């Protein structure tokens, strides 16, 4: 008797444990841990994950597994363990943890199909399938199982004869192209070639190719490679030496581009010193966390590349995480250039199908390296040899919905399981990481100088209050304007950076200071110029801009603040001849536009690149010699204990865009608070002093890294209910945790209402609290009823990055 222990897709407290199901006899050899199955659950059929297969069950009458959804496991043993860890550390249900690790194609409703991918004469297809496939190479799963046992299908998949595919219903257009495949064996071809006339040299060339290459090849590629026309191939097809066949190709989003192959560079002394301990950890199969701390342009990426090479030579695999916005073609090129098609790329710009294709390459071990954003940390490799997180301080590594995990933590957990190194790289490490390196928990590796000792750019701080006093009301200081013009003359390029985070363009009354807010959420509405409307970024509420102030009836109510559009307009007024490329969410929302705009700038088709956060990273163009930050301090005013750290990191990052090559760079920070230490120290690129100042403040206020924090946010439509629940929770937490732990609350959240729901919070600061997870779990359990019945929401964020 075989029993499957199944985690069912019913996210609730009562179902957050494995249920036993009997595996029917015909599926006994099919079902394995890590597969998804359909099982009866009450009156319904639900999906679930097989956690393990066992021989006995303590229950008497068991229901049976209905059918498997996969023929090969979608989660390997290690990922099942990792799911367990995820659910424990982030307090999410196991089913949510498992689902978070899969590509979206395996999550939602997609059509499942079985597809014939190779015709192996030595392998007999089951009769019915043979006929099905004769008319179409891909058949609905439901059809296929009518003609063949699941066991037989599983065998086909394992042999590489067939594959399971998921297609979005309706728009399931498969991408197929004409391929050429060899029909004759290599020996037969050799004999055939000798029978050809001397003039048929092109045909001989093609035959020569197929004697050595027995795989299908795209016709387009074949013609390109042999530099011949299609007629030579046609002749051979007519003679049945070759055949044409439409085959699906991987929708590789980078396929069109050529990747110049790069070779490892001889390392500098600093790089060699930094890489040695990583190599040691790789060859000793020893888990260790390294913090690679090196200014921008110090050669960190080359260290990553050569560490990966070391891992590949050992026959193991590598994961490289890059922040989403830095996952530019430039970045990807560096990995593809070195490791070619051993690299898979995973990022949010891919369609569901493309993501699935990339994931499948990993699962089928067709690639050895994955470069991707946060969720790529779950790449289903089985022989991980290294995990690298570039720009490790970036907030995007924290997922802000369930499961609220941090990719850094998940990386370290996987590194432990695989006994492999984890390398965290940054020019401005997160305070938490640097503190751990100081304490020896991580091993600190430094790259203190830029390549070829190129100097860091000069930074000048401009006090915008002085500009105003001197009568300059424009958003450009005089010195910035002067330098902009200078660069135009020299035909060099400028990057203008506008920090949009925490700096929306709102509508304000100049007379009484009234700001138009969303009636449902407690934030100011953002002004959209083209539609002359105001919009709430949380709930989508829209309204016309008022002509009169609702408070004092003044007509001096208008749009205030600066958006990129506005800057662009101003710019064309003061320097009409400037060619400007604007990059923000509006101009880059279409697929591929991001890349296109960057390419245009790189090709020198514009003088100025104007943009938001998305241009702060990864740009590496030789002609950029000036970087202007229009308002360096906007982020300082967020209600967040990390606001200084974020400001410092961003400013340092932006400055790094200038003067990365032969031409020296200059940077200008415009600010209303020039004396703030994070601006001052960013201008000197002095991370070490920033670290010291900031650590002092963190210690004085009991914030991370001295304390851990956990944030509980309660929300409900009724204010009284929200307050009451938060109060109760705060009381329980205070009572159950140690007296040394600080419990703040209940207080209204910085954004006290979203979509008509009031929000209150309780903040817990602690050093050691072994029972915390249990206490929190019991709180969630206690309110389970109200959460499902009366719309109460309780979110628990362990180590939160957004405190609003």
Rounded to whole angstroms, the Cα distance separating 365 from 359 reads 10
Q: Smallest distance from the beta carbon of 330 to ligand ADP, in angstroms? A: 10
CA distances from 343 to 77, 365, 429, 689 (A): 23, 11, 27, 39
Walk across the sheet containing 111-116 and list its strands. Answer: 138-140, 111-116, 162-167
With CB under 5 A as the contact rule, which of the stretches 371-379, 552-560, 605-613, 658-666 interacts with Zn ion? 552-560
Q: Residues 120, 229, 554, 778: which binds Zn ion (CB under 5 A)?
A: 554
With CB under 5 A as the contact rule, which of the stretches 21-29, 177-185, 536-544, 643-651 interacts with Zn ion? 536-544
Q: Smallest distance from the beta carbon of 337 to ligand ADP, in angstroms? A: 10
Q: Smallest distance from the beta carbon of 272 to ligand ADP, in angstroms? A: 9
Q: Is the four-CA dihedral 89, 90, 95, 99 of positive or negative sign? A: negative
Query: Which residues share a beta bridge with 426?
Result: 293
Question: Smaller CB distance to Zn ion: residue 517 or 736?
Answer: 517
Identify which of 34, 28, 20, 31 has the alpha carbon closest to the alpha carbon of residue 63.
Answer: 20
Parallel, antiparallel, or unpaired: how do β-strands 624-629 and 493-497 relate?
parallel
Q: Smallest distance from the beta carbon of 269 to ligand ADP, in angstroms? A: 10
Q: Which does 268 bind (CB under 5 to 8 A by kind): ligand ADP, Zn ion, none?
A: ligand ADP
Regarding 294 and contact with ligand ADP (CB under 6 A), the answer is yes
Number of residues interacting with Zn ion: please give it, by CB under 5 A: 15
Regarding 302 and contact with ligand ADP (CB under 6 A), the answer is yes
3-state secondary structure of 662: coil
Q: Which does 300 bind (CB under 5 to 8 A by kind): Zn ion, ligand ADP, none?
A: ligand ADP
With CB under 5 A as the contact rule, which of the stretches 282-290, 468-476, 538-546, 772-780 interacts with Zn ion? 538-546
Question: Three-state SS string across 108-173, please?
Answer: CCCEEEEEECCCCCCCCCCHHHHHHHHHCCEEEHHHHHHHCCHHHHHHHHHCCCEEEEEECCCCCC
Question: Smaller CB distance to ligand ADP: residue 265 or 574?
Answer: 265
Q: Which does 783 bind (CB under 5 to 8 A by kind): Zn ion, ligand ADP, none?
A: none
Q: Residues 96, 301, 526, 722: which binds ligand ADP (CB under 6 A)?
A: 301
Q: Does the annotation flag 420 for ligand binding? A: no
What is the DSSP code string of 187-244? HHHHHHHHHS-TT-HHHHHHHHHHHH--S-EEHHHHHHHHT--HHHHHHHHHTTSEEE
Q: Smallest distance from the beta carbon of 536 to Zn ion, in angstroms? A: 3
Q: Smallest distance from the beta carbon of 292 to ligand ADP, in angstroms? A: 9
Q: Residues 124, 265, 574, 664: which binds ligand ADP (CB under 6 A)?
A: 265
Identify which of 422, 453, 436 has the alpha carbon closest to the alpha carbon of residue 277.
Answer: 422
Q: Which does 296 bind (CB under 5 to 8 A by kind): ligand ADP, Zn ion, none?
A: ligand ADP
Please report where in the chains the tokens 């959460």 appear, as a residue: 787
Rounded to whole angstroms, the Cα distance separating 325 from 327 reads 5
Q: Which does 737 bind (CB under 5 to 8 A by kind): ligand ADP, Zn ion, none?
A: none
Number of residues interacting with ligand ADP: please give it, by CB under 6 A: 14
Site string for Zn ion, 508-527 (x = CB under 5 A): -x-xx-x---x-xx------
Regarding 300 and contact with ligand ADP (CB under 6 A), the answer is yes
Regarding 306 and contact with ligand ADP (CB under 6 A), the answer is no
Question: Smaller CB distance to ligand ADP: residue 428 or 634?
Answer: 428
Token code pair at residue 518: 């969303």
Q: Smallest distance from the beta carbon of 669 to Zn ion, in angstroms? A: 33
CA distances from 227 to 198, 244, 330, 693 (A): 19, 19, 29, 64
Q: Which does 520 bind (CB under 5 to 8 A by kind): Zn ion, ligand ADP, none?
A: Zn ion
Q: Residues 89, 96, 203, 296: which binds ligand ADP (CB under 6 A)?
A: 296
DSSP 8-state assignment for residue 457 = P
With CB under 6 A as the contact rule, which of the stretches 291-299, 636-644, 665-673, 744-752 interacts with ligand ADP? 291-299
Q: Which does 271 bind (CB under 5 to 8 A by kind): Zn ion, ligand ADP, none?
A: ligand ADP
**Taking the CA of residue 136 as centre, how many other CA atoms within 13 Å lie in the half-sphere pointing to its CB?**
9
Residue 315 burial by Cβ neighbours in a 10 Å radius (0-12, 13-18, 19+): exposed
Q: Smallest distance from the beta carbon of 458 to ligand ADP, in angstroms? A: 19
With CB under 6 A as the contact rule, which of the stretches 263-271, 397-405, 691-699, 729-737 interacts with ligand ADP? 263-271
Q: Smallest distance from the beta carbon of 753 to Zn ion, in angstroms? A: 8
Rounded to whole angstroms, the Cα distance separating 357 from 366 reads 11
Regarding 297 and contact with ligand ADP (CB under 6 A), the answer is yes
Q: Smallest distance from the beta carbon of 144 to ligand ADP, in angstroms? A: 48
For 739-774, b/e burial (b = at least 16 CB within 10 A) is eebebebbebbeebbbeebbbbbbbbbbeebeebbe
Q: Residues 57, 268, 351, 793: which binds ligand ADP (CB under 6 A)?
A: 268
Regarding 299 and contact with ligand ADP (CB under 6 A), the answer is yes
Q: Smallest distance from the beta carbon of 379 to ligand ADP, in angstroms? A: 22
With CB under 6 A as the contact rule, which of the stretches 300-308, 480-488, 575-583, 611-619 interacts with ligand ADP? 300-308
* Cβ-based neighbour number of residue 368 at 10 Å: 22
Q: Which does 541 bind (CB under 5 to 8 A by kind): ligand ADP, Zn ion, none?
A: Zn ion
Inter-residue contact 40 to 61 (CB < 8 Å): no
Question: What length does the chain have?
Answer: 804
Q: Smallest distance from the beta carbon of 516 to Zn ion, in angstroms? A: 10
Regarding 549 and contact with Zn ion (CB under 5 A), the answer is yes
Question: φ and ψ at 79, to 5 degrees?
Answer: -70, -30
CA distances from 543 to 4, 28, 518, 527, 534 (A): 55, 61, 9, 10, 5
Token code pair at residue 378: 């779950």
Identify which of 369, 404, 619 has the alpha carbon closest to the alpha carbon of residue 493.
Answer: 619
Regarding 451 and contact with ligand ADP (CB under 6 A), the answer is yes
Contacts of 337 (CB under 8 A, 6+ apart): 259, 260, 261, 262
Query: Which residues share a beta bridge with 203?
Result: none
Regarding 267 and contact with ligand ADP (CB under 6 A), the answer is yes
Regarding 551 and contact with Zn ion (CB under 5 A), the answer is yes
With CB under 5 A as the contact rule, which of the stretches 82-90, 141-149, 351-359, 533-541 interacts with Zn ion? 533-541
Q: Smallest distance from the beta carbon of 132 to ligand ADP, in angstroms? A: 52
Q: Residues 96, 271, 526, 713: which binds ligand ADP (CB under 6 A)?
A: 271
3-state secondary structure of 478: helix
Question: Smaller CB distance to ligand ADP: residue 403 or 656?
Answer: 656
With CB under 5 A as the contact rule, which of the stretches 5-13, 246-254, 457-465, 506-514 interacts with Zn ion? 506-514
Q: Smallest distance from the beta carbon of 267 to ligand ADP, in angstroms? A: 5
Angle 350-609-491 from CA coordinates, rounded to 5°: 135
Token code pair at residue 146: 């009518």
Q: Does the annotation flag 536 for ligand binding? A: yes
Question: Smaller CB distance to ligand ADP: residue 265 or 468?
Answer: 265
Rounded to whole angstroms, the Cα distance separating 58 from 380 reads 32
Residues that bind ligand ADP (CB under 6 A): 265-268, 271, 294, 296-302, 451
Binding site residues, as ranges? 509, 512, 518, 521, 536, 539, 549, 552
Residues that bind Zn ion (CB under 5 A): 509, 511-512, 514, 518, 520-521, 536, 538-539, 541, 549, 551-552, 554
Binding site residues for Zn(2+), as ranges? 509, 512, 518, 521, 536, 539, 549, 552
């Amino acid at each position: 008797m075989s029993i499957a222990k199944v985690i069912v897709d019913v996210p609730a407290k009562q179902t957050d444990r494995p249920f036993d199901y009997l595996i029917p006899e015909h599926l006994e050899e099919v079902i394995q841990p890590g597969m998804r199955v359909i099982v009866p659950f009450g009156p319904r059929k639900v999906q679930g994950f097989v956690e393990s297969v066992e021989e006995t069950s303590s229950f008497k009458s068991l229901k049976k597994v209905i059918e498997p959804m996969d023929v090969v496991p979608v989660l390997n043993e290690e990922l099942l363990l990792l799911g367990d860890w995820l659910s424990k550390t982030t307090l999410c249900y196991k089913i949510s943890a498992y689902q978070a690790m899969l590509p979206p194609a395996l999550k939602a409703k997609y059509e499942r199909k079985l597809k014939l991918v190779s015709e192996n004469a030595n392998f007999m297809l089951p009769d019915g399938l043979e006929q099905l496939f004769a008319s179409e190479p891909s058949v609905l799963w439901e059809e296929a199982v009518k003609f063949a046992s699941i066991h037989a299908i599983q065998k086909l998949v394992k042999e590489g004869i067939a594959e399971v595919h998921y297609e979005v219903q309706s728009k399931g257009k498969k991408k197929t192209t004409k391929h050429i495949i060899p029909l004759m064996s290599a020996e037969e071809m050799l004999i055939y070639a000798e029978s050809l006339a001397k003039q048929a040299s092109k045909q001989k060339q093609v035959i020569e190719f197929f004697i050595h290459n027995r795989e299908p090849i795209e016709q387009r590629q074949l013609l390109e490679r042999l530099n011949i026309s299609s007629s030579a191939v046609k002749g051979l097809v007519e003679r049945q030496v070759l055949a044409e066949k439409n085959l699906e190709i991987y929708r590789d989003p980078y396929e069109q581009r050529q990747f110049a192959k790069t070779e490892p560079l001889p390392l500098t002394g600093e790089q060699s010193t930094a890489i040695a301990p990583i190599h040691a950890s790789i060859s000793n199969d020893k888990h260790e966390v390294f913090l690679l701390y090196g200014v921008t342009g110090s050669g960190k990426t080359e260290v990553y590349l050569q560490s990966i090479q070391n891992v590949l030579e050992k026959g193991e695999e590598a994961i490289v995480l890059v922040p989403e916005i830095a996952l530019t073609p430039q970045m990807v090129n560096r990995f593809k250039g070195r490791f070619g098609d051993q690299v898979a790329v995973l990022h949010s710009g891919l369609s569901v199908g493309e993501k699935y294709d990339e994931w499948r390459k990993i699962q089928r071990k067709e690639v050895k390296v994955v470069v991707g954003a946060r969720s790529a940390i779950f790449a289903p490799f089985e022989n991980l040899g290294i995990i690298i997180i570039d720009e490790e301080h970036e907030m995007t590594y924290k997922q802000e919905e369930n499961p609220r995990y941090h990719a850094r933590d998940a990386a370290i957990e996987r590194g432990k399981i695989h006994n492999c190194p984890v390398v965290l790289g940054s020019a401005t490490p997160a305070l938490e990481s640097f503190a751990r390196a100081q304490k020896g928990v991580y091993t600190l590796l430094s790259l203190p100088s830029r390549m070829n000792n190129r100097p860091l750019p000069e930074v000048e701080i401009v006090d915008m209050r002085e500009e105003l006093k001197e009568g300059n009301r424009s958003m450009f200081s005089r010195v910035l304007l002067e330098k902009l013009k200078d660069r135009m003359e020299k035909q060099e390029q400028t990057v203008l950076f506008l920090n949009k985070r925490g700096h929306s363009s709102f509508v304000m009354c100049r007379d009484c200071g009234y700001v138009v807010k969303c009636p449902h959420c407690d934030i100011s509405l953002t002004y959209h110029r083209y539609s002359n409307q105001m919009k709430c970024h949380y709930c989508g509420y829209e309204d016309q801009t008022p002509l009169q102030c609702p408070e004092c009836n003044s007509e001096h109510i208008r749009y205030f603040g600066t958006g990129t559009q506005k800057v662009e307009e101003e710019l064309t007024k003061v320097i009409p001849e400037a060619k400007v490329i604007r990059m923000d969410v509006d101009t880059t929302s279409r697929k591929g536009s991001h890349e296109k705009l960057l390419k245009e700038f790189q090709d020198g088709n514009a003088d100025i690149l104007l943009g938001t956060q998305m241009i702060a990273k990864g740009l590496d163009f030789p002609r950029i010699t000036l970087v202007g930050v229009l308002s360096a301090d906007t982020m300082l005013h967020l209600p967040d204990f990390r606001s200084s750290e974020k400001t410092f990191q961003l400013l340092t990052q932006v400055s790094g865009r200038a003067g990365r090559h032969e031409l020296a760079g200059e940077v200008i920070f415009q600010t209303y608070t020039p004396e703030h230490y994070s601006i001052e120290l960013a201008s000197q690129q002095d991370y070490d002093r920033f670290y010291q100042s900031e650590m002092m403040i963190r210690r004085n206020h009991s914030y991370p890294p001295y304390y851990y924090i956990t944030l509980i946010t309660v929300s409900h439509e009724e204010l009284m209910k929200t307050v009451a629940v938060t109060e109760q929770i705060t009381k329980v937490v205070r009572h159950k945790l140690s007296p040394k732990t600080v419990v703040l609350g209940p207080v209204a959240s910085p954004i006290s209402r979203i979509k008509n729901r009031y929000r209150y919070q309780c903040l817990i600061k602690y050093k050691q609290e072994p029972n915390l997870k249990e206490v929190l779990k019991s709180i969630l359990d206690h309110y389970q009823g109200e959460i499902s019945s009366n719309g109460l929401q309780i979110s628990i964020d362990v180590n939160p990055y957004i405190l609003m």
